[in-house]
Amino acid sequence: MAKIKTAFFCTSCGYESMKWLGKCPACNEWNTFVEEIVEKNDKVAAANEWKNYKTSPAKKETKIVALSEVNFTEEKRIFTYDTELNRVLGGGIVAGSLVLVGGEPGIGKSTLLLQDCLQLKDYVTLYISGEESEPQIKMRANRLKAENDNFYLLTETSTQSVFKEIKKLRPDMVVVDSIQTMQSNMIESSAGSISQIRETAAEFQKFAKETGTPVFLIGHITKDGNIAGPKILEHMVDTVLQFEGDRHYAYRILRTLKNRFGSTSELGIYEMTGEGMRMVTNPSELLISQKDEQLSGSAIAASMEGMRPLLIEVQALVTQSVYGTPQRTVSGFNLRRLQLLLAVLEKRGGFMFGAKDVFVNIAGGLNVEDPSTDLAIVCALLSSYEDAALPEHICFAGEVGLNGEIRAVNRVEQRIAEAEKLGFEKIIVSKFNKKGLNKSHYHIEIVALGKVEEVYKYLF
């Protein structure tokens, strides 16, 4: 009997070693090596020969070439009916791109891609599923109320069998659900192991690049929120999309973590309905709650997510602490950033937050990282502290510094235009944003202030 060959792989970065190591020499993580079988079967023919594929580019000779001699043409893109997905990908699906979509179980990854593929009736799409049967996928398609004669299914986990069927069908786009269920006969380890994920992803990468066919890989995530498998998987693909949201809320956010063909700061917003994902074209109206009366502790922030302006509601609650240590609780905002703002208010404004419990929430289940929300959070805190509601139809856009100054933010014109479009009458910005800002272009009143104390005097 031939001896089984094994190797040790780092679960963090995919580094390969012939023996077990306590510390990975590549990523310096401890106790991350696991043993896997790597006996390769040379009798299995590699299924990635694409010489006769319909979109295969001509084989070119490998040689050194000057950058100035490179002929560049704009990359060919497939435009879907999903404008949110087009925006996140940088303007459509690039031919030959490899896109990894990650997210929690049940968040809607498969539903989103199935819905978008069913709408592409001019392109032949192959949906490869290693997790669901054909009747299950048909049942979901019926729920989405979409039909497409150019949409094909394949329930298979062996990549060799998958590529044989791809050669027969020759699709324009391929979706793999999920990469953790795929298994290559070239590797003896089980599906989902580090070596299998790396090998199968490399096979799909070679197929995408040599044929110019876009491939979507759906990926599982770990309990820490990271995409399962070695980190090299994210390096191999062209684009990494994160589908996130609270399952108790109807809204889902598609974020870009990596994109070789566009911006990494774009996001798309969807609403989960019984008939699939509905694109949210104007999220500002949904993220601002409709109230019958003005209550204290609520402020509207004019933030930016990529190139898209968003008006979001910030809620704050300041109460007297009944325990020895005051609580600091946040939802959708950075806790350290909140502590910084509280320190600024205590030092520069003289407000005694040290004996208060402070709770901050971003309405709608959003997770906000834009520093321009600082001013809205400060005003919401002061409103709850004084138990006085802020004036109606006023919003805020400004970053707060450690000296209590209101710092300028980028793309202030787009923020002002969005606030005006939604019917706001005033917007408070930094006085340093006044340079180059023509107030006559807007019907909304622009209030430019420089310090937190000035904002307090203006509002209260």
The reply, when asked if residue 109 is annotated as ligand binding, is yes
Cα 73 to Cα 75: distance, rounded to the nearest angstrom: 6
The token duo for 256 is: 């870009």
Evaluate the CA torsion angle 247, 248, 249, 250 in order and state its sign. positive
The reply, when asked if residue 104 is annotated as ligand binding, is yes
At which residue do the structure tokens 């997210």 appear?
103
At which residue do the structure tokens 């696991």 appear?
34
Cα 405 to Cα 80: distance, rounded to the nearest angstrom: 45
Q: How far is CA 265 from CA 88, 103, 241, 303, 424, in A?
A: 8, 18, 11, 13, 26
The reply, when asked if residue 108 is annotated as ligand binding, is yes
Pairing of strands 356-362, 308-320: antiparallel
**Cβ contacts of 284 within 8 Å, gap of 6 or more:** 309, 310, 311, 312, 418, 422
Q: Are 221 and 96 in contact (CB under 8 A)?
A: no
Cα 440 to Cα 227: distance, rounded to the nearest angstrom: 49
Question: 67 by DSSP, 3-state: which?
Answer: helix
At which residue do the structure tokens 């325990």 appear?
323
The reply, when asked if residue 105 is annotated as ligand binding, is yes
CA angle, residues 48, 53, 54, in degrees to nearest 5:
155
Cα 415 to Cα 308: distance, rounded to the nearest angstrom: 9
For the annotated binding site for ATP, the residues are 103-110
For the annotated binding site, the residues are 103-110
